[in-house]
Structure formats: C-alpha cells, structure tokens
Amino acid sequence: MIVALDSSTFTLSVAVGRQGDPAPLAAERLGPPARMSDLLPGALLALLARAGLTLADVRGFVVGLGPGSFTGLRIGLATVKGLAYARRVPVTGASSLAALALEGPEAIPLGAVAVARRGELYLGRYRRTGEQVEALAAEEACTEADLGRWLASEPTARVLGPAVHEGREALLAAGIPEVRLLETPDIPSAWAVARLAGELPAFDLQTLSALEPHYVRASEAERNPRFPPLPGPAPGARIRGEEA
C-alpha cells in the first residue's frame, strides 16, 4: 500500500491505495479553518484506519511538491520524510499543478493555476492525453494579465485549479472570459499525484534527504531586503556520516 498526500493548498488531500490502481481504497479532503500542522498527522492515521490498515502496511509515500503554500508544502514533505525515515520506506513526489491537469479535459492546452500572493499566480501549462501529462512550458509565477495574454494566444485553452475559485474576481477583471474557467478540479488530488509519480524507487537516505518542494519563486522572507542571504555556499541537505 502507498499513502499519497497534497498539502500545496489550504485544503489537505490524502489517499491510500495500491500502486498502479486507477482509484484509491480510501481518500479524504480536509480544509480550513483547521491548520495543516493540526490536520495532517491525525488525518493520515484516520484514513489508514478507514481502510483497515496501519502504518506497518505502508510501503511508500507520494507527496505533491507544489508549487503552492510554502508552509503547507514544508509540513507535508516533512511529515512523510519523517515517517519514511522511521520505517525505511521510499518517498517520491510529483507536481501539484500537473496533478490538476491530469484530471482536466484531454487534447487541449490547460493552465493549472494556484494563488501565489495578491496579484500573482503559479501557472503550469500542460496538455493531457490519457494518463500522460505533457508540459508545454516550465512552471512559473505570473500575473493575471500574463495568464490572459497566454489564453489570447491559445483559443482552445482552459484554466483550472485553486486560483479559479480563490482569485476568480481578479481573473475576470484581467479580461479572462468566464467560459475559459473550469470549476473542477479545484485542488490537486492526492491520488492524481500518485498516478503521476509512477513507480516508487527503493529506499535511499540520500534521495530522501534531497527531495524538496518546487517553490518556483522566493518566499516573502527571502525577498525582504532587511535580511540578505548569508555569504558562502547555499546550505544543502546533510547526510549522517558525511564529512563536515
């Protein structure tokens, strides 16, 4: 059994099932006002119990890597990394925006969007064919106006994802026709992330430590000119036993 989760939005999506199955054994979505740090541990255990399973039955984890909520992504990845390390099972991940596209219509350009901050979106451009999602461009942060210009160049394209609901007024104000906005999927599905991720690798401590969210843009703290980066090489994951 594998456990999959996506915590890139304020709504947590969790699922458990057999790798390669089109649908999970059990799935749940839980959202505000509860905080992600409060939701996640209990939600995982409750989901396993619903499926008649325990952590001892889990052979690996799959996690949505964003882009999305910085805090949510860190909490989700830290949780599965801790559980995977304790049980010596593998973790892999996939793009949360690509997971949205996997549940969108086929054969047309899809703009998967999530709110980055006021006036800014995360955008992934894809085309889905069956269970395959083709990236049409690198994921990026952009404005609603940028999204509108892309849609003007792609008459058949449609937009889906959390920003369609959270930022609908801003999208319409940017001149994006309402007919181009799809109501579903509204958040990345944990099981769509699992379907995208494919086969789990073998457990490897270095691979586990190196797995990081896809932030796309710098955080507000990193942008703050009062706190410039420290001199020297950027910090990286440390593996126990490495030379200092």
Does the pTM of the predicted model rise above 0.85?
Answer: yes
pLDDT in tens, 151-191: 999 999 999 999 999 999 999 999 999 999 999 999 999 99
Residue 223: the pLDDT is 52
Phi, psi of 160 (to 5 degrees): -145, 160
Residue 43: the pLDDT is 93
Residue 228: the pLDDT is 60
Residue 244: the pLDDT is 36
Q: Report d(CA 173, CA 147) in Å as an integer.
A: 12
Residue 237: the pLDDT is 41
Strand extents, DSSP E, 175-218: none
Residue 239: the pLDDT is 36
Residue 115: CA atoms inside 13 Å, Cβ hemisphere, count? Answer: 16
Residue 38: the pLDDT is 87
SS3 127: strand
Q: Report d(CA 189, CA 15) in Å as an integer.
A: 9
165-190 core/surface letters (b: 16 or more CB in 10 A; e: else): ebbeebbeebebeeebbbeebbbbbb
Domains of the chain: 2-96+189-217 (3.30.420.40), 105-180 (3.30.420.200)
* Residues of the chain with confidence (pLDDT) below 50: 221, 224, 235-244
Phi, psi of 163 (to 5 degrees): -70, -20
Residue 229: the pLDDT is 58
Residue 156: CA atoms inside 13 Å, Cβ hemisphere, count? Answer: 7
Residue 236: the pLDDT is 46
